[in-house]
A and B are shown apart, each in its own frame.
Chain A
Amino acid sequence: NAGVTQTPKFRILKIGQSMTLQCAQDMNHNYMYWYRQDPGMGLKLIYYSVGAGITDKGEVPNGYNVSRSTTEDFPLRLELAAPSQTSVYFCASSFSPGQSIYGYTFGSGTRLTVV
């Protein structure tokens, strides 16, 4: 049972480059999330999805794009990388948010540096 798998674990990008952070889950969770965590700060929601084909913006969506063509995968696209996007990115999934003991499963994170 792999849970939530994020790739890559580390990446260095040059300003203006683009990349896709991959996130996959094998628990058949409908709900998936992307967060960023700046040093010493909390996690901020970038985008989320309540099912295949449905995505919505979170608190900090600017500079990012997502798609959800399958239940399993929820890639995050960075276009024209900027130093302000240097952060640790977490992907998470949930069977049933809200008032639910099932909770959320987190990936191990992707540490991205833009230079």
Chain B
Amino acid sequence: AQKITQTQPGMFVQEKEAVTLDCTYDTSDPSYGLFWYKQPSSGEMIFLIYQGSYDQQNATEGRYSLNFQKARKSANLVISASQLGDSAMYFCALSLIDKLIFGTGTRLQVFP
């Protein structure tokens, strides 16, 4: 069965600190992609970062990095130097040959 799991319903982090959002997945397909999206209160889906299953190095995009541990089937998002504007819902998603499936999300709140 193909599945993606986010076990942290909510996380708090102080401004300028780093935070890790957890994501585990399950698929028997050898070729897949992992995405992280941010959804602010306005509702749009904002692409943050992508990791392919064959990529050797962890993906990085500015303050975002993806800690990809293939053997453990985990794809955690690390946000460095958190900002107040990072407060939002964050979704991990598994991209398969024909579709994209989402985790339940983590609500991140950044406080001063």
B97 near A97 with CB under 8 A, answer yes
Main secondary structure on B side of the interface with A: loop
Shortest Cβ gap from B77 to chain A (Å) = 15
A103 near B96 with CB under 8 A, answer no
Per-position contact with A for B23-40: 1 when CB-CB < 8 Å, else 0?
Answer: 000000101110100000
Nearest residue, chain A, Cβ from B104: A42
Q: What's the Cα separation between A50 and B43 when bound, in Å? A: 26
List 19 A–B pairs whose Cβ atoms lie within 8 Å, in order of A's numbering: A40-B107, A42-B91, A42-B102, A42-B105, A58-B99, A92-B45, A92-B100, A94-B100, A97-B33, A97-B95, A97-B97, A98-B31, A98-B97, A99-B53, A99-B95, A100-B52, A101-B33, A104-B100, A109-B43
Instruction: Name B residues whose Cβ lies closer than 8 Å to a Cβ of A.
Output: 6, 29, 31-33, 35, 43-45, 47, 50, 52-54, 91, 95-105, 107
